[in-house]
Amino acid sequence: MALSFAWMFGETKPSGSELLIGILVPKLSSKTIQQAVGVVGCIIMPHNVFLHSALVQSRDIDNNKKGRVQEALRYYSIESTLALVVSFMINLFVTTVFAKGFYGTEQANNIGLVNAGQYLQEKYGGGLFPILYIWGIGLLAAGQSSTITGTYAGQFIMGGFLNLRLKKWLRALITRSCAIVPTIIVALVFDTSEDMLDVLNEWLNVLQSVQIPFALIPLLYLVSQEHIMGTFKIGPVLKMVSWLVAVLVILINGYLLLEFFSSEVNGVLIATVIGVFTAGYVAFIIYLVSRGITFSSWRAHPKLVPGTE
């Protein structure tokens, strides 16, 4: 899929300078904020934050040897960076191809997951292998990848919290059922029109972005603590940049909620329900941040902790 869209990217001949400016200086309006938040959610995905942490621990190394740990971290950094770069390039190619080919046209408002391949075939068709099939294989691969990462993340998280140790076939049956059965139910319920499934997919990505702080804030706190990480705690520069990114994601999510309130919410009951949800969301984020600050102060002043005198 990456090679195919790279070829189509070349065929569209986008402006290199405008593309570079768009990457470095992105411009968002109230009409595109929902799509932008959805892109953040579908690329980062909160469960992958847990999954990457678990994969670091999967390497069979002697944790008592600092050099071996540093080597493992170095190779994992290279591995994860390459994966993120490839993901970024695929998204860049896909976005550019659709924007260059369909922006401002009559088809732009009608393109969705169901007919995107057909539109691509009509626009960029030809060659030995139809683009329609390439698009279909790409969607199948993306869905399979998302299912696998979600399953692995759930396995590591539940195994860590509940200390679950099940046979592989039983674990696969349970985790796959938890992933596939709700998906089938939702697909059947929302299968009233093609547009409904596209809207559902978009809001699911937004929901993933909204959940990112719950995975990111505890992680940033843990990797900043010397009593947990030892000499491998993150430095002040990386810590500052990471917290700035986390704050930016939270602010974007907050802006989306305000935009949703002002444009979509009608009626006292719906406004009350969404208001309670938003208040709980903000309160939980404040709790996570204050929890980390409080715990840090206890470590700095252990006499403040009951029973440590």
pLDDT tens by residue, 109-134: 778 777 888 888 887 776 667 778 88
Tokens at 59, concatenated: 């390497």
**9 and 93 in contact (C-beta within 8 Å)?**
yes
**191-228 pLDDT tens trace:** 666 677 777 777 777 788 888 888 888 888 888 888 87
Model confidence at 279, pLDDT cuts 50, 70, 90, reads confident
Distance CA 168, CA 175 (A): 10
Asked if the model's pLDDT at residue 70 lies above 50, the reply is yes
- The residue type found at 19 is L
Helix, strand, coil percentages in the chain from 3-state DSSP, rounded to 5: 80, 0, 20
Helix (H) or strand (E) holding 150: helix 131-162
Q: Which of 183, 170, 175 is nearest to 157 (CA)?
A: 175
Angle between helices 194-223 and 46-57 (to 10 degrees): 50
What is the model's pLDDT at position 301?
47
Helices 46-57 and 33-44: crossing angle, nearest 10°?
20
Which residues, 6 or more positions from 260, have their beta carbon under 8 angstroms from its beta carbon?
Answer: 274
Question: Does residue 97 have a pLDDT over 60?
Answer: yes
pLDDT digits (tens, 9 = 90+) for 176-190: 777 778 778 877 777
Q: How far does Cα 299 stand from its chain's mean position?
A: 32
10 Å CB burial of residue 131 (0-12, 13-18, 19+) is: buried
Left, alpha or beta for 234 (phi > 0: left; psi -120 to 50: alpha)?
beta
Structure tokens at 148: 């696998």
CA pair distance 237, 245, nearest whole angstrom: 12
Which pLDDT tens digit goes with each residue over 227-269? 878 888 888 898 899 889 888 888 877 777 777 666 666 667 7
- The model's pTM is 0.70
* Mean pLDDT score of the chain: 77
Neighbour-count burial of 55, counting CB atoms closer than 10 A to its CB (0-12 exposed, 13-18 middle, 19+ buried): middle
For tokens 């919410």, the residue is 265
- For residue 50, the tally of other CB atoms under 10 A from its CB is 19
Residue 5 has pLDDT above 80, yes or no: no
Burial of 255 by CB count in 10 Å (0-12 exposed, 13-18 middle, 19+ buried)?
middle
The pLDDT assigned to 30 comes to: 65
Higher-confidence residue of 81 and 278: namely 81
Most confident of 28-32, 104-108, 298-302: 104-108
Pick the range with the lowest mean pLDDT from 8-22, 25-39, 110-124, 243-257: 25-39
Closest alpha carbon to 36 in 256, 259, 220: 256
How far apart (Å, rounded) are the C-alpha atoms in residues 280 and 287?
10
pLDDT at position 293 is 60
